[in-house]
Chains A and B, each alone.
Chain A
């Protein structure tokens, strides 16, 4: 299990998103109103829109290009559309406010 520090909680606005790249993959990190942090691949399965630029409503984000709606915890595209995006596990250190991303095996990537 690999864990690496990505950001501080104050880097991301509530209902906002920031991005970082992991190898070839751009990842969008979202901060929801309930304080939780979710990381998904920053690419809508429809036409590749940047989800980080979308509007966050509850636990979903609306893609800015064609309004596809993606559930951020599961990565599932919501009806009536279909599909899913890769998700990444995150952790927040309550004391320091640091955000970590955990990957099964970074080396494997």
Chain B
């Protein structure tokens, strides 16, 4: 609903960026993706570090059965609510399950929820945005009004409504998040498509009779990719947070799943005696979300300086 293109001072900034571009051209800087990667690693150590953290989490998730010291579902009522110790680094929960093992298995839930529904919703958003921008007219109008409606919804409430309809459970969160978050992507892809379709190379492709779908996916889409990569990295944490929130509210993952949000809410009862029960999974969420945010910020600086904070 908001028109941020009129942000104050952008005219002057363009000038400045042009100047800086001149200067870098003069200093002989090139811009291949390898250079960009190097720049990312060199200039933004935090982003590089975050990438390492995320890879570690990913490995832990994939090899959870090997990495985790215990079976994350195995209950042992004699070992209930133990303090952190050498045997159980993060203690045990109210059913005697090893918290560290559950946090490691929880990475599977969170990363899957972060990656897959985000990919699906962004794919939907990309296709809709491309169509809206490319065909314009009625197609554009219908898609964008639909996006307006989706964006007017606070995503947590929307997800709650979907969860009511479909019932709890991870699969349903999966579906809910896939369907809910396409609108932002659609908007950005649409606006880029609008400006790209006026470019000479698209005109050229059109003039030699390239088919529309080929133009859209071979010529326009690749030029949207930098923005999409950044957007993907920044959308993942919000999906992870949504799942955690829904599970925390008891309308997401169901026991005995090792979802971090669910662990946090089940540990809430013991917050004052065994705080690590809810804090450990919460910290895990924070680290993963923060790492994705750092990485996304870094990628944006390198790949796409024009994609402003939404």
**Mutual binders A and B:** no
